[in-house]
Every structure is written in structure tokens, then in C-alpha cells.
Amino acid sequence: MQIGKLEEALLSLSYKDEDIEVANSAFNTLYREYSKLLYSVLRKVLNDRGTPSDEIIEATTHNTFLKLYQNPLSFTLPENCNNDNPFKGWLIKVAKNELTDLLKQYFDERIEYPSIISDEVLDDVEVDENISESVNIKLLNDALNTLSERDRSILLYLYQLYEKGKNIPSSDLDILCKMHNTTRTNIRQIKKRCETKIIEYFSKNSQLIPLRYDKQ
Amino acid sequence: MINNKKNMGLIELFKSKGLLFPTSSEEIIEFENNNNIDSESPENWDNPISIITQGARKLKNLDLLHNPHEEIEDLKMVARNGDNKLSKEIIEKMYKKHNNSDDTK
């Protein structure tokens, strides 16, 4: 969607108390422009985690658009922006939070958490730049496919929770433990095991550029 | 010569290829290039406004704890132990699973 149209639609939503018909029309336009992207992102994320569910995709998208309707001006376009990618990114972040909230709400009603648990730091393991430059999406998928379905699901769930410089809330980790009937200690071990395996796979299979050797 | 190379984190690497939630412009472009977004059929496509009238949703009947592999292992164990108390439904499941496996060969 063009930037001008996007701004106009968001502004129309913010004036819903004054002109509900224009606001509803703007909402329809935004939904039809961006709902397929959200469905696709959520489907991919959930499939990769090994927990595909239409119910989660529908509820998450539903609540994300409801948030947009209720508070359209919580998104601000960056200066000198020439496409709607920042809006897409913002919408995906809202959806990510909605997904976590929905799962938390669901499991909170069914699981009793221990009373005091601290949040945890999730370290991002470094990959040598020579390797990371030569890794493509196929190699990433191939590396993931060397893991068991359960390990892959746990690793990707952890990675999707990751935000640079922030701890993972204990309740999010507890949901993961409950979903896979395991403990935090095991989760840590699984993460370590998977990362070692992935990096080894990269080292063996990435097309590293060989050092030039000139014969004299 | 100063080496400006900087190693990348594994999570950042996954993210840069559009495998986690894409949020930056580059990640979104990568995701859109690798996924068929137009094949999706959002449930409120014909009437998006119904979202507002319905209000916030909750999850009701998730089946995330269900592990089909565990179930198959259980069935195998029952078969090995010669338990003849299998219900018709379970036997049908076993046949279905068996036939599906054959289809992929």
C-alpha cells in the first residue's frame, strides 16, 4: 500500500468517533491489504515450531486487527519512509505479542506455575562471519531438518521469544516446558545440543570461499 | 589493516533469512520472496468489521500437547505385547497410518 493511503487509513480509524463509516471502510482496506501477510507469517512460525493450528492463526490475527482498530496511532511512520514495510514490521510485532498473550492466557487457565521464578537470559551463539555470509535459506532449513521434530520445535520457540538485550519472561519458558513436558534444565541442554549440531552442519556444508593460492 | 568483520549471532542469522518473525524491512522482503502470501484465505475476508463486533478472542481447544509420535509408539507397544483389546477406532488409525506410510514410498 502506498504511504499516503496508509496514513489516510490510519487517520480515518483514529477519527472513528466522528465518522464511523469512513473508519470502517478504512479498516476493511487495511485488513484486506495486510491480513494475508499476518496469516502467512504466523503459519510459517507455527509450522516451524511443529505446532500448526488454524485456531491460533485466526485468533492472533483477529486480536491484532482489533488492537489496530482500537489504537491506530500507536504506529508512527519513520521519517523519509518510502514504503509500508515499517508498518508491516510493526503489525508483525503486535501479532507476536498477541500470540504470546493468547498462549499465556490459555495455559494460565490450565497450569499452576511455581510462585517465584526469575526470568532468563537467552544467549545468541556467535557464528563466524565467513560461515554466516555463505549460509542461505536452504542450508538453514537443511540444518534444522537434521534435528528431531521436538528439538527443532523447542529451539525455534526459544528463538522466536528472543529480543536482543532482553530476558525471556519466566512464564513464557514455563509454557514451553509444559508444551513439551520437560524442564528448564532440559530446554537449556536441548538448545546447546541443537546449536552445536547446526554450526557443525554449516561448517561441513556451507560453500566457503577458499583462500587464493597463487602458484609462483 | 583493521579487520572490520563482525561475527553474527545464530538467532540473528535465522532472523535475517526470514525464518523467525520478520520485522525489519529486509526480513520482510526476504519473507515475502520466499512465501506464497496470496494463497492465504483469512477468515474475516468478506466481513472484516465483524472483528470489532466480536471483541477479543481467546484460545479454546488447543491440541499442542498431542504428540502423534508418542501415540504411534504406544500403538506399536500394544501390538508387540499382543494386547487384543484394541478398539476399532485405534485399529483404523493404525491401518490409516500404515497406508499413509506406503503412499510416500
> Residues of chain B whose pLDDT is less than 70?
1-7, 63-105
- Interface ipTM: 0.76
On chain A, the residues whose CB falls within 8 A of the CB of B51 are 31, 62, 65-66, 69
With CB atoms and an 8 Å threshold, state whether A28 touches B48: yes
On chain A, the residues whose CB falls within 8 A of the CB of B49 are 24, 27-28
Residue B10: closest C-alpha in chain A: A125
* pLDDT band, residue A56 (cuts 50/70/90): very high
Residue A29: closest C-alpha in chain B: B48
Domain extents for chain B?
Answer: 8-36, 68-103
pLDDT at A209 over 90: no
On chain A, the residues whose CB falls within 8 A of the CB of B64 are 51, 53, 179
With CB atoms and an 8 Å threshold, state whether B51 touches A43: no
Residue B66: closest C-alpha in chain A: A179
Chain A contact for B72 (CB, 8 A cutoff): no
The pLDDT value recorded for residue A212 is: 44
The pLDDT value recorded for residue B82 is: 52
Higher pLDDT, A56 or A47: A56
On chain A, the residues whose CB falls within 8 A of the CB of B46 are none
DSSP code per residue over chain A? --HHHHHHHHHHHHTTTT-HHHHHHHHHHHHHHHHHHHHHHHHHHHHHHT---HHHHHHHHHHHHHHHHH-GGG--PPTT--SSHHHHHHHHHHHHHHHHHHHHHHHHTT-PPPS----B--PPPEE-HHHHHH--HHHHHHHHHTS-HHHHHHHHHHHHH--TT-PBPHHHHHHHHHHTT--HHHHHHHHHHHHHHHHHHHHHHS-PPPPP----
Nearest CB among B7, B35, B58 relative to A128 is that of: B7
The pLDDT value recorded for residue A15 is: 93
With CB atoms and an 8 Å threshold, state whether B9 touches A125: yes
The pLDDT value recorded for residue B79 is: 53
Domains and CATH numbers, chain A: 3-108 (1.10.1740), 129-205 (1.10.10)
The pLDDT value recorded for residue B48 is: 96
